[in-house]
Structure 1
Amino acid sequence: MKQTEFLHIVMPFKDKVFRLAKRLLVSKDEAEDATQEVILKLWQNKEAIKKYKNVEAFAMTMTKNFCFDKLKSKQAQNLKIVHSNYKDETISLQRKLEVNDALERVKKLIEALPEQQKLVIQLRDIEQYEFNEIEEMLEMKAGTIRVLLSRARKTIRQQLIQAHNYGIK
């Protein structure tokens, strides 16, 4: 069997082999490797291919067996650990709305603070500047900055607690 004849037989179902391997192995890279391995084994036994009535079914069986062997191997144990640690990082629409509402509420509370407290909380908590950098920017002592920051955080915390308790004490 020549290469062109082999490709004419194998290429129509190559994508099916890949999809089955991807379904079983999860990893795209592992599925690509499995597909290559199956096609290579078919090429090495190209003379025997003529004996099969349905080469596609034979290739799918080979793929299934190869993937199961791979999953049983020591290498696959590492794959399972990686995949079992995967967490779905998508956030539900409801949760996104809640987070956006909370952020808007905090922004409004910061805007309502006295000017110095607003400035200090912006520089420290939002912009993540260190205290010595804020001292230089605002030309204030570290103690003053800490007091302003503490008062601003306390005011915001109290107003958030009050809002979440619906004014009930």
Structure 2
Amino acid sequence: MELEYFRTTVLPARNRLYRVALWMLKDSAEAEDALQEGMLRLWVYRQKLMLCSNVEAFAVRTVRNLCLDRLKSKQYKGRQGLEGLEYTDSGQASPHQQAEQEDHEAVIRRLMLGLPEQQQWLLQLREVEELSYEEIEEITGMQINAIRVALSRARKTLREQFLKVSSYEKLG
């Protein structure tokens, strides 16, 4: 029963866990290593997972903590890659529209790096991973109202900075 429970609850979240690790570590090999370590840790604690109300949120928190440990380690410091951050759009946009969209995404990613770490993390969970506020509450331990306020402030800051950068680019 434990194996089947693990297969049906943890394994489907593998892609989301990988995206979280990749977003945090900015390196596909490091993200894969963190994911493997996280899956192993979840397997070891599989009996306790059956008592957990939201296994996916617990799994995301586990991988997040492993990524934070990696980021703090001395071995990881100094290694900074930006591979794996490409977002593709399969729509029928013209090459000009695609280039403009890619430029906008690059600007937004750059602006996001200027936000406080907590706001970056919340935006990643809500906008990229598309988690509900309740799931984010379980992962972060923050109250839902605090999550909403932080996300609102982050979006407002991004919007203002993006408009400022966009209007400057048009003038120059």
Bigger radius of gyration: 1
Identify which of structures 1 and 2 has the higher relative contact order when contacts are C-alpha pairs closer than 8 Å and 6+ apart.
2
Query: When you count helix as a share of all residues, which structure comes out higher?
Result: 1
Give the TM bin, normalised by the shorter chain.
0.3 to 0.5
TM-score by length of 1: 0.46
